[in-house]
Amino acid sequence: MNAAAALLSLACLALIQASGSGANAEFNPLHHSGPASPYFDAPAQFGIPPSTPVRCSVDQAAYIVRHGSRFPEPGSFTGWQSLFAKLQNATYTAKGPLAFLPSWVPPIDDGPHQPLFLSSTGSKEAFDLGVDLRKRYRLTKGGDNFTVWSVRVVDTATYFTLGYLSQGNYLSAADENRGHVITMPDSVNYTFADSLTPSAGCPAYSTGDTSSKATTFRGTYQGKIADRLNQYLDGLTLNATDIGVMQDLCGFQAEISGDTYFCDIFTKSEWLDYEYAHDLNYYYGSGPGNPVSATTGYPWVKAVTELLVTGPKQTPSDSHFAPPPLIMSFTHDNNLPPVVSALGLWNTSLFPSVYPLSTAGPPNPHRTFRSSYLVAFRGYIALERLSTGPHHVFAVVGADARAQINNAVVPVPGCASGPGSSCPLASFATYVNSRAAVAGDFVGTCGLRDVQNATGALDIFTTFPSDAAQTSMLLVPLPYAHTP
């Protein structure tokens, strides 16, 4: 098998739902805005079609999903306010692409409540994903109750669940068609690997974080952009910090208010540099460039793989809770790249000198690790179990970055002999077991051997309540109560 065939033969346990702009499509800055991108389907990779292979069906799937589009974090909002104050406190004229600046106001109309929280776009993204996966898989029948797992991004989990269950009238049927959202603490250091934010419970994780390389790269282009844009201003001078805020505002303002003025003032090459800075941030911060990344992503991969091997609607022998055939986990952007690392995806290439990603630039067009395809709002990684009959079961990987996964199938390195470049399930399980050596033992690698109750296992999908994960449950929607 030649190198190209080997790459295409990588198994399909990662389906990234992402159909996106094709090679001849008009350039869209919102598809190159990294974590500020509203959800979009990533373009197909490796020439593999995103559809379920002929004569196959998906009988089980697991997703780990970033929350939907939201208002900025408070720290980022402070940057918006500083830019606004700078514009308001100066006497200047603006022309050309910057003519809108004197009348611009930040798209926040309820400062005490909006920053950090889900926007209406994010609500729709989550609801739409629920509808899409209900139609895509048909894994549960109408009237069945449904369970999902979430950290504090419960609004995204709830809107997803409402979309998934939105069929028929069950409002007064308190025991039917209800969603159970199993919640757990967010970004704490005492649940260790039994969490959807495990990096917070791994002290060694921060020692491998070299995301500051992204800041160095930003220093190579932001000042040049400021110099170019200043030709349209008289009485006001933009600097590199302003450029970072303005590029962020493209994605955020587009998803909050539909305004794309900030998207239109930068060139294609400037957007590609902006995207690459985010690529470096995630690659070296939480992705394959952090040597402890795979350690924190492996518990989710291992737990899900065991469920795929057990099969849908089956209770593993050592537990008492059978998860639904569609296993949904909702978390934050920085918890997706570790899963990529654990699976060994997006860190090898047929082309030389692609990985590790260069910190000098320019962006290598042959790289597959792209933040816009993975950690866009409501981005996700999904593992599908494909069934082609009683003796042919394959696992497929989809990463949506929306990865469905969003239509970009990402083959598993060295294992793509199944239909649609999928990996035979037994081979996939063997592959995942081999990745344990790369990930290392969570407790040992994280420096937790002397910490009481430290665990490297994720049991939330088969144990409820989980004492280690400190899980609790929300019910949605609440039963309807008629008041005369």
For 235, the domain range is 71-117+210-285
Residues 101 and 15 reside in one and the same domain = no
Residue from 67, 155, 248, 400 carrying the catalytic annotation: 67
Residues 65 and 47 reside in one and the same domain = yes
Say which residue the tokens 């593992």 belong to. Answer: 383
The model's pLDDT over 453-481, given as tens digits with 9 standing for 90+, comes to: 999 999 999 999 999 999 999 999 887 65
Mark which of 263, 285, 307 sits at the end of a domain.
Answer: 285
Residues 36 and 130 reside in one and the same domain = yes
Query: How many domains in the chain?
Result: 2
Residues 265 and 179 reside in one and the same domain = no
The answer to whether position 27 is within a domain reads yes
Mark which of 285, 306, 330 sits at the end of a domain.
Answer: 285
Selected residue with higher pLDDT from 348 and 187: 187
Q: Which run of H or E residues covers position 281?
A: helix 268-285
User: For 56, which DSSP code?
Assistant: -
The answer to whether position 483 is within a domain reads no
Give the bridge partners for 15, in sequence order: 382, 409
Residues 241 and 269 reside in one and the same domain = yes
The Cα–Cα gap between 266 and 283 comes to 24
At residue 315 the predicted structure's pLDDT band, cuts being 50, 70 and 90, is low
- Arithmetic mean of pLDDT, 348-356: 86
The Cα–Cα gap between 9 and 287 comes to 23
- Arithmetic mean of pLDDT, 258-281: 97
The Cα–Cα gap between 385 and 113 comes to 41
Residues 216 and 323 reside in one and the same domain = no
Q: Is 333 a catalytic residue?
A: yes
Residues 57 and 128 reside in one and the same domain = yes
Instruction: Characterize the bridge pairing of strands 408-412 and 11-16.
Output: antiparallel
The model's pLDDT over 283-296, given as tens digits with 9 standing for 90+, comes to: 999 999 999 999 99
The Cα–Cα gap between 476 and 405 comes to 25
The answer to whether position 354 is within a domain reads yes
Query: What's the CATH code of the domain at 66?
Result: 3.40.50.1240
Residues 347 and 456 reside in one and the same domain = yes
- Arithmetic mean of pLDDT, 16-29: 51
Residue from 41, 209, 273, 333 carrying the catalytic annotation: 333
Q: 3-state DSSP helix/strand/coil percent for the chain, to nearest 5?
A: 40, 15, 50
pLDDT at 1 over 50: no
Residues 7 and 147 reside in one and the same domain = yes
Given this model, what pLDDT does residue 307 score?
A: 93
**The token pair that represents 88 in the structure block:** 């308001």
The answer to whether position 232 is within a domain reads yes
pLDDT at 48 over 90: no
Mark which of 258, 285, 312 sits at the end of a domain.
Answer: 285
The answer to whether position 265 is within a domain reads yes
At residue 117 the predicted structure's pLDDT band, cuts being 50, 70 and 90, is very high
The answer to whether position 103 is within a domain reads yes
Given this model, what pLDDT does residue 393 score?
A: 55
What sign for the dihedral angle of Cα 340, 341, 342, 348?
positive
Amino acid at 390: P
Given this model, what pLDDT does residue 38 score?
A: 96
Given this model, what pLDDT does residue 394 score?
A: 59
Q: Is 392 a catalytic residue?
A: no
**The token pair that represents 307 in the structure block:** 């469920």
